[in-house]
Amino acid sequence: MMTLSLSHLRRSMVFLTLFFPIVGYSLNVAACEQVPSGQSFRIRLLSPVASYSSKRGMPVQAVMIQSPQCDGAPIFPLGTPVEGQIKSIRKVGMGFRHETASVEIVFDRISPPGVSPIPIQAEVVEVDNAKEQVKNNVIRGVRSSDTFQSRVTMRLIQLPTWDPDGLLFLAARRALFPAFPEPEIYFPRGTDFHLKLAAPLEFAEDIPATPGNPQFNEEEKDELDDIVQSRPSRAVTPGGRDGDIVNLAFLGSREQLENAFHAAGWIGSDPVSTRSVLRQIYAVTSLNNYRRLPISKQLLEGRMSEFSWQKSFNSYAKRDHLRIWSEPDSWLGQPAWLSGSVAEVSAGLSPQKGLVRFTHRLDSDLDKAREKVVRDLTLAGCVDAVYDAERPDVPRFAKSPTGDEVETDGLIAVVRLKDCERPIVDDSLPVVAPPFRPKSRFVRYLRTQILTFRSDLWRANAVYAAFDLTRAAIRATRTTELPALDVQAP
């Protein structure tokens, strides 16, 4: 009987690690002739879409940034073209006819390299970090008068019943100090869409296999397994509460780290100041975004984070963000950094320590936030190798500092960075941005007054006020009531 030495076994494992993902990927795809409906994937727009100027039937180009899967393996390479067209579109214009905009895009074709185009039926279920809502594949814009300050004003506008001079005061205030979001929909190049298959995806030809990120070798994995077990699994707030779960580690220089996030489209955060607080108030009251929104402080082994990065689109309430702490010791001979990534999906008022504060609520699935970071850095061409290290002692269920229930598989993604080169999706190419709103400020101001008057005509009455207050109370109850959750390992 043939025996293998430890060195032979190690070399065999390394060979299988490098070779099997590619072969296995090909076999999975070749054996998969149909993907059931309901699977989701993500795409990134290459052609801008604007409700104000885009037309029905206009083609829409995108690329795949997250593929549907077959037996746990992605089917299509990152960057695979996805094509569609605008099925219906409605603009606000001057606001005489419509208060809100809407866009319906039908993506009906995937074009893998070297393979005939594959027809698909897919529905848009979400625009990442957007204030627009999606229902039945139709993207619906916000009503410019549906802001916090507008709802307060609509309550106060009933005061003329007691004081007729109040009507003139409120009308003058809204005319002189308008704070309203843009009602037209605009998705620039680089906007990420979440799609779902509405029918089974069938294909007869073999899709060319494309390996994922290179892996660390077995010796490096063994060393990383030992390192991550000795590192803290969770940050803490300055007040001593449990903070973010550490789910990412980066190996590389400070310059590589900064360049990678810049290349991937992530930006930093402003420090907390009077100016940043005022900008937050404006963003909240006007349904606008604050792209450099401050990120609260958390400590890792008593150390403050050295970086904080975030990625948002046009919603104050939705963003992905992370904090990064430098490690005192190198990993595999390289500078190391630990991080905890989360996704914020909504925002609202929450009682804390006897005060009512404006807080964000987290997506319960922390693993999706971790995967997005790795995916974005990969698409930017800045990743050399990735390894998902297991940490059995990390709780699978926990609570965030704000009381949100979160869950994780406990893995930490170790990402070795490289100098960014050859991005899979290049968003830096020049593109002609279509007009997405009236060019004249006076025309936009006039449109705001028309939309405001129209809203008051239909909503500034006691019946609608009672309905809206009841709806707001129900939403607040759902937001602030957090059931108890045992925090323990499975």
Summarised one tens digit per residue, pLDDT across range 380-434 is 999 999 999 999 999 899 998 888 899 999 999 999 999 998 888 877 667 788 9
The DSSP symbol for 145 reads T
- Quote the pLDDT of residue 487: 32
Mean pLDDT on 21-46:
68
Confidence of residue 124 (pLDDT cuts 50, 70, 90): very high
Q: Is 29 a residue whose pLDDT tops 60?
A: no
Domain ranges of the chain: 7-142+185-202, 146-179, 218-417
Which one-letter amino acid corresponds to residue 13? Answer: M
CA–centroid distance for 363 within its chain: 10
Summarised one tens digit per residue, pLDDT across range 336-389 is 999 999 999 987 666 555 555 667 889 999 999 999 999 999 999 999 999 999
CA atoms of 351 and 355, how far apart (whole Å) = 5
CA atoms of 468 and 119, how far apart (whole Å) = 44
Q: Is 486 a residue whose pLDDT tops 50?
A: no
- Quote the pLDDT of residue 152: 54
Count of other CB atoms within 10 angstroms of residue 190: 15
Tokens of 372: 């997005």
Mean pLDDT on 22-39:
59
Mean pLDDT on 232-244:
93
Summarised one tens digit per residue, pLDDT across range 7-17 is 333 333 333 33
Q: What CATH number has the domain spanning 7-142+185-202?
A: 2.40.128.260
For all residues of the chain together, what is the average pLDDT? Answer: 82
Summarised one tens digit per residue, pLDDT across range 183-208 is 999 999 999 999 999 999 987 667 76
- 302 CB contacts (<8 Å, ≥6 apart)? none
- Quote the pLDDT of residue 148: 61
Query: Measuring CA to CA, which residue among 16, 72, 76, 13 is closest to residue 42?
Result: 76
Tokens of 15: 């060979």
